[in-house]
Structure 1
C-alpha cells in the first residue's frame, strides 16, 4: 500500500446527473461552469477531478439516472486544457464496451496531451442495454473487464506495437502513437462486490469503492491487503473512499441529514478517520445551490479543511 498524506479529489458535477446526487442547478449549467469548477479544484490542490462513463441510458432507467452523461475522454481532454496540475480520472470507464485498442488510442492521447495526468479508473458496468447496443456480452462483463485491463496494460505500455492474445481480444503488429506521457498509466479498479475487490487487489494500482459506508471499509481493505500479500504483490497501491456529502461551515439551508457539516477542524477530524482505516485518497462531494457556492465550498475545503487532514 502507498503511504503518506491523505489526498483528496472530487467527482465533477454537471457531467453526470443521476438523481442520486445531482443538485437541481446542474440541469441548467454548462461547459463554462464545469471549467470554472475544474479550475477551482486545480487551484485548491485537489489530487484529481473525475468524470463518469455511460454511452446511452435505456428508458427504464432514465428517470433515476437521467440521460446526461458526458463522454469522459472528451470532457477530461477539455478540462486538461483549462487546468495545469490536477490529475484526470475516469470514474469509471466501462472499458468492456469498447475494443481495448480504441480505448488505448483515446486515453493515450489524453495522457499525452495533458502531460501525464491520466488515472484510468475502470469498472464492469451495470446497464445491460448498453452492452447489447454496442455488441458486448453483458453476462461476461466481469471476464471482459479482466481481459480489458490486461489488454490496456499492454496497449498503454511503452511498446509502440503492443501485443495481446486473449479470449475476446487479440492484437499484434499494430502501432499506436502518441504514446502516453507516463511510463505506467495508473489503473484504479472500481466496484465493491467481492469480484471487484479481488480484481482491484490482483490487477489494479488502486481501488475505487462504490458507496461503501465507513463501517464496511476496514473489512474490505483487509481483504485487499490479504489478497495482495497472498499473491506476492508488493507494488504501491492506492485505497480510495467516497466520503459523505460535505458542507464547510454551518449551513443556513437544509443540506440533508447525511451531510457532514461544521467547522473545518471538526470536518478534518472526521475525515482523518478514513486515513486511520488505511485509506489513501478520499473523493469528496459538496452540497451547493449553484456553481458559485460550489466553487466557494471547494476553496473553503482547500484552505481550511485540507491543512488539517494530515
Structure 2
C-alpha cells in the first residue's frame, strides 16, 4: 500500500470549484469563472499548505439530469495537468475518475504522464460511476461496473508502477509486452476509492490505499470506519489506509450574509475544534469547502483557514 499524507496528522484538501457545477454545491459566481480563476485558487492552495486539489470526472450528462448536475464537468486529466504546471507542492487528486469508462491502458497512459509531468504529485481517486447513459454512449458495462472497477484497479496497480512493460491477465482485460513511457515519477501511484456503499467500502478496504467517503454525515462515519478496518483485518491486510471525510461547508469568521444552516462558521479555534472530531474518529484528511460570493472571497477564506484554523487542527 502507498501512503502520501503525514502520519499522525490531520491534513486538509479541497475539491476545486468551477470545474464541476452541480447545483448541490456550486456557488453562483462560478458560472462566469474560468481558467484564470482556477489558476489563482490553485496557487492559493499551493501557497497555504493544502494537501491536495481535486477534480471530478463525467464525460457527458444526460438531459434528464442536467438541471441538477449541470453539464459543466471539466476533464480531470486536462484540468489537473494545467494546474500542475503552475503549482509546486500541492497534490493532484481525481475525485473521482470513473475509470470503468475507459480501457485501463488508456487511463494509465494519461495519469502516468500527469504524474511524470507534476513530479510525482498524483493521487488517483477512482469510483464506479452512476450515470447509465454515459456508460451506454461509450459502450461500457453499466450493470457490471463494480466488477469492472475491481479488475481495472488491479490492472492499474500493475500499469502505474515502474515496469515499462506491465502485465495483467483478467476476465475483461489482458495485456503484456506493451511498453508505456514515461513512467510515473512515484514508485507506485496511490489509488484512493470513492463511495460509501457497502461495495465501495469493501473495495476501499481490500484494494485501496485510501478511502474517499461520499456524503457520509458525521454520525455515520465511525461505524463506516470500523467496518473498513474490520474488513482489512479479516483479509489480513496490516498496512494502514488513508481515510478521508468531507466536512460541512465552512466560513471562517462571522458572515454578514446567509451562508446556509448547515455551514460551520465562527472563530478559527471553534472551527478547528469541530474539525478535530474527525481526527478522533480515525480520519486522516478532511476535504473542506468554503461558502463564497466571489473568487476573491474564496481565496481569502482559504488563506484565513490556513493561517488561523489549520494551526489548531493538530
Q: TM-score range by the shorter chain?
A: over 0.9
In structure 2, C-alpha distance between the alignment counterparts of 1:39 and 1:159, rounded to whole Å:
33
Which digits, 9 at most, give the CA deviation of each residue in 1:79-123, with x for residues without a partner? 000100000000000000000000000000000000000000000
TM-score by length of 1: 0.99
Pair 1:87-2:87 in alignment? no
Pair 1:147-2:151 in alignment? yes
Query: In structure 2, what is the equivalent of residue 230 of structure 1?
Result: 234
How far the C-alpha of 1:158 sits from its partner, in A, is: 1.3
How far the C-alpha of 1:236 sits from its partner, in A, is: 2.6
Deviating 4+ runs (over 6 angstroms): none
Q: Which residue, out of 250, 274, 295, partners 1:291?
A: 295
Q: Which residue, out of 188, 195, 208, partners 1:191?
A: 195
State the SS of the aligned residue for 2:93. Answer: strand
The 5 A counterparts of 1:263-278 are: 263-278=267-282
Q: Which residue, out of 72, 97, 100, partners 1:96?
A: 100
Query: In structure 2, what is the equivalent of residue 74 of structure 1?
Result: 78
TM-score by length of 2: 0.98
State the SS of the aligned residue for 1:92. Answer: strand
Instruction: Supply the RMSD in Å over aligned alpha carbons.
Output: 0.8
How far the C-alpha of 1:27 sits from its partner, in A, is: 0.3
Query: In structure 1, what is the equivalent of residue 253 of structure 2?
Result: 249
Which digits, 9 at most, give the CA deviation of each residue in 1:153-173, with x for residues without a partner? 011111100111111111111
Number of equivalent positions: 310
Q: Which residue, out of 12, 30, 55, partners 1:51?
A: 55
Query: In structure 1, what is the equivalent of residue 138 of structure 2?
Result: 134
How far the C-alpha of 1:231 sits from its partner, in A, is: 0.9
State the SS of the aligned residue for 2:219. Answer: helix
Which digits, 9 at most, give the CA deviation of each residue in 1:201-239, with x for residues without a partner? 000000000010000000000011111111111123100
State the SS of the aligned residue for 1:283. Answer: strand
Pair 1:22-2:55 in alignment? no
The 5 A counterparts of 1:112-131 are: 112-131=116-135
State the SS of the aligned residue for 2:124. Answer: strand
In structure 2, C-alpha distance between the alignment counterparts of 1:87 and 1:36, rounded to whole Å:
16
Query: In structure 1, what is the equivalent of residue 224 of structure 2?
Result: 220
Query: In structure 1, what is the equivalent of residue 176 of structure 2?
Result: 172
How far the C-alpha of 1:307 sits from its partner, in A, is: 0.1
Q: Which runs of 5+ in 2 are unaligned?
A: none
In structure 2, C-alpha distance between the alignment counterparts of 1:144 and 1:44, rounded to whole Å:
38
